């Protein structure tokens, strides 16, 4: 019987830690502030933004939402980001993706100050992750690392396989596993003999965006399986990239969908925003912990 890694419980613990640190910052007159930009009326984006605002309230942050119409032009969006870069009461800025057609998300990300880039998408922060000297980590991969830690498995020396090579999850995920001395393979649509590769994995991270893509015959006995996917199955029910029914019996530990990686993403966003507030107000970790 696999251990079911409870992302809700781990996320709640992270948020509680952030809330406790935020209370200490407030004693110094510092209130972390997060600005969230949403363009258009994509229903999924609206759900994510509402969840982020709720999390901010829970940990004691100030949050500001900037809801722009779908026909907003690029110059207006860039001007808003530049304005937020200059505001001392805003420590983190994120622009909810995807943007409506006609808007350049790369240009927007590039405009966000690296010091306020709490999604860790800016090329400067991506570079810092590559060399292992980062302030922020992308929220989903950082959350995955917390869940692997929760499984009790040491990454060092393990065969780690990441399915998916996106800039948001796959690539940074591989780097974080590498920084913890895992032996890492990234698989993608051109990978030959995929199942042979995944069966070598002691730690398997699925971030491919295809419902129930990873099946039991693709998984090594006793592996830790982390499911980043969020899809709908043939019955319209939420499911991940992993076929839980066939994979779970073979695992040492596995994350469910929902209730696994999802809650961690927003929890790590809160942690990044707290870090940004501390850096921008020159609050050292050493002084902070005294």
The CA-based angle 171-213-119, given to 5 degrees, is 30
Residue 190's contacts (CB-CB under 8 Å, 6 or more residues apart) are none
What separation, in Å, do the N-terminal and C-terminal C-alpha atoms of the chain show? 43
Tell me phi and psi for residue 275, to 5 degrees: -60, -45
Judged by DSSP in three states, 161 sits in strand
Cβ distance 80 to 90 under 8 Å? no
Among 228, 220, 241, residue whose Cα is nearest residue 144: 228
Q: Catalytic: which of 52, 158, 220, 278?
A: 52
The β-bridge relationship of strands 253-254 and 224-227 is: parallel
* 96 given a catalytic annotation: yes
Tell me phi and psi for residue 44, to 5 degrees: -65, -40
Distances in Å between the Cα of 199 and the Cα atoms of 113, 160, 174, 244, 247 are: 41, 10, 17, 16, 12
* R_g (Cα) of the chain, nearest Å: 19
Q: Catalytic: which of 96, 171, 241, 243?
A: 96
- What interhelical angle do 139-151 and 261-280 show, nearest 10? 120
Burial class (CB in 10 A: 0-12, 13-18, 19+), 28: exposed
Q: Catalytic: which of 117, 119, 202, 227?
A: 119
Active site residues: 52, 96, 119
């Amino acid at each position: 019987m696999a251990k079911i890694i409870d992302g809700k419980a781990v996320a709640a613990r992270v948020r509680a830690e952030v809330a406790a640190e935020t209370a200490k910052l407030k004693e110094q007159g510092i209130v972390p502030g997060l600005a969230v930009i949403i363009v258009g009326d994509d229903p999924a984006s609206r759900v994510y933004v509402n969840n982020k605002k709720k999390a901010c309230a829970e940990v004691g942050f100030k949050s500001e939402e900037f809801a722009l119409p779908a026909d907003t032009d690029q110059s207006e969006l860039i001007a808003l980001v530049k304005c937020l870069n200059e505001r001392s009461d805003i420590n983190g800025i994120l622009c909810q993706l995807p943007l409506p057609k006609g808007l350049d998300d790369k240009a927007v990300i590039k405009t966000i100050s690296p010091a306020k880039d709490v999604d860790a998408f800016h090329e400067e922060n991506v570079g810092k992750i590559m060399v292992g000297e980062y302030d922020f980590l992308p929220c989903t991969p950082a959350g995955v690392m917390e869940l692997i830690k929760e499984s009790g498995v040491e990454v060092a020396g393990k065969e780690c396989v990441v399915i998916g090579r996106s800039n948001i999850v796959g690539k940074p995920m591989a780097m974080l596993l590498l920084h913890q001395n895992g032996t890492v393979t990234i698989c993608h649509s051109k990978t030959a003999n995929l199942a042979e590769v995944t069966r070598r994995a002691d730690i398997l991270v699925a971030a491919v965006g295809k419902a129930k893509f990873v099946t039991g015959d693709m998984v090594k006995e006793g592996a830790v399986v982390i499911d980043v996917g969020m899809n709908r199955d043939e019955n319209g029910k939420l499911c991940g990239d992993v076929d839980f029914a066939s994979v779970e019996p073979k695992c040492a530990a596995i994350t469910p969908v929902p209730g696994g990686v999802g809650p961690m993403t927003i929890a790590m966003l809160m942690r990044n925003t707290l870090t940004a507030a501390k850096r921008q107000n020159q609050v050292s970790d050493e002084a902070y912990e005294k």
